[in-house]
Chain A
Amino acid sequence: MNQTRKVVLRFPHESADQPLVCELALRFGLVFNILRASISPHREGLMVLELVGDTEKQEKGLAFLRDKGLDIEPLSQDIRKIERRCYHCGACVGVCPTGALYLDQKNYQVYFDENRCIACEFCVQSCPTHAMEALI
Chain B
Amino acid sequence: MEVKSLEETLRTYDEINRRIENGEAVVITAEEVIELVAEKGVSRAAREIDVVTTGTFGIMCSSGAFFNIGHSKPRMKILEATLNGVPAYGGLAAVDLFIGATQPAKDDPLNKVHPGEFKYGGGHVIQDLVAGKSVLLEANGYGTECYPRKKLETWIALQELNQAYLFNPRNAYQNYNVAVNLSDKPIYTYMGMLLPNLGNAGFSSAGQLSPLLNDPFYQTIGVGTRIFLGGGAGFVAWQGTQHDPGIERSERGLPLGGAGTIAVIGDLKGMHSDWLWGISMRGYGCSLALGLGIPIPVVNENVMFYCAVQDGDILAPVVDYSKAYPNGTGEILGYVSYRDLRSGTITLEGKEVPTSSLSSYSKAREVALLLKKWIQQGRFSLNRPVESLPGSESGITFRNLTERPVKFSTEEVGG
Using a CB–CB cutoff of 8 Å, the interface residues on chain A facing chain B are 42, 87-95, 103, 105, 107-109, 122, 125-126, 128-130
| Chain B facing A: main interface SS | strand
Minimal beta-carbon separation of B46 from chain A (angstroms): 28
State the CA gap A84–B205 with chains docked (Å). Answer: 23
B202 touches A94 (CB 8 A): yes
Residue of A nearest to B284 (CB): A128
Can you give 27 A-B contacts (C-beta < 8 A)?
A87-B57, A87-B277, A87-B360, A90-B356, A90-B358, A90-B360, A90-B361, A91-B358, A93-B356, A94-B200, A94-B201, A94-B202, A94-B354, A94-B356, A94-B357, A105-B344, A108-B365, A122-B193, A125-B193, A125-B282, A128-B192, A128-B281, A128-B358, A129-B279, A129-B280, A130-B119, A130-B280
> Which B355-400 residues sit within 8 Å CB-CB of chain A?
355-363, 365
Q: Is B195 an interface residue (CB 8 A)?
A: yes
Residue of B nearest to A87 (CB): B360
B interface, size bucket: 20 to 34
Residue of B nearest to A124 (CB): B282
Counting from the closest, the 9 A-B pairs by CB-CB distance are A94-B356, A90-B357, A94-B200, A128-B279, A126-B193, A108-B362, A108-B361, A94-B354, A89-B360
State the CA gap A43–B193 with chains docked (Å). Answer: 18
> Which B161-202 residues sit within 8 Å CB-CB of chain A?
188, 192-193, 195, 199-202
Q: Is B259 an interface residue (CB 8 A)?
A: no
**Complex contacts, B343 vs chain A, CB 8 Å:** 105
| Chain A facing B: main interface SS | loop
A88 touches B193 (CB 8 A): no
Residue of A nearest to B57 (CB): A87
Using a CB–CB cutoff of 8 Å, the interface residues on chain B facing chain A are 57-59, 115, 119, 188, 192-193, 195, 199-202, 277, 279-282, 289, 343-344, 351-352, 354-363, 365
B195 touches A95 (CB 8 A): yes
Residue of A nearest to B204 (CB): A89
A122 touches B195 (CB 8 A): yes
A107 touches B362 (CB 8 A): yes
Q: A128: which of B115, B280, B344, B352 is its contact (CB, 8 Å)?
A: B280
16 additional A-B residue pairs with CB within 8 Å, beyond A93-B344, A94-B201: A87-B57, A88-B360, A88-B361, A90-B356, A91-B202, A92-B356, A93-B355, A93-B357, A94-B200, A95-B192, A95-B354, A103-B357, A108-B362, A126-B356, A128-B192, A130-B119
B289 touches A93 (CB 8 A): no
**Complex contacts, B289 vs chain A, CB 8 Å:** 87, 89, 128-129
**Complex contacts, A126 vs chain B, CB 8 Å:** 192-193, 282, 356
Q: A95-B195, A122-B193, A129-B279 are in contact. Are A88 and B358 (CB under 8 A)?
A: no
Minimal beta-carbon separation of A123 from chain B (angstroms): 9
State the CA gap A20–B270 with chains docked (Å). Answer: 61
**Complex contacts, A93 vs chain B, CB 8 Å:** 344, 354-357
**Complex contacts, A129 vs chain B, CB 8 Å:** 277, 279-280, 289
Minimal beta-carbon separation of B190 from chain A (angstroms): 10
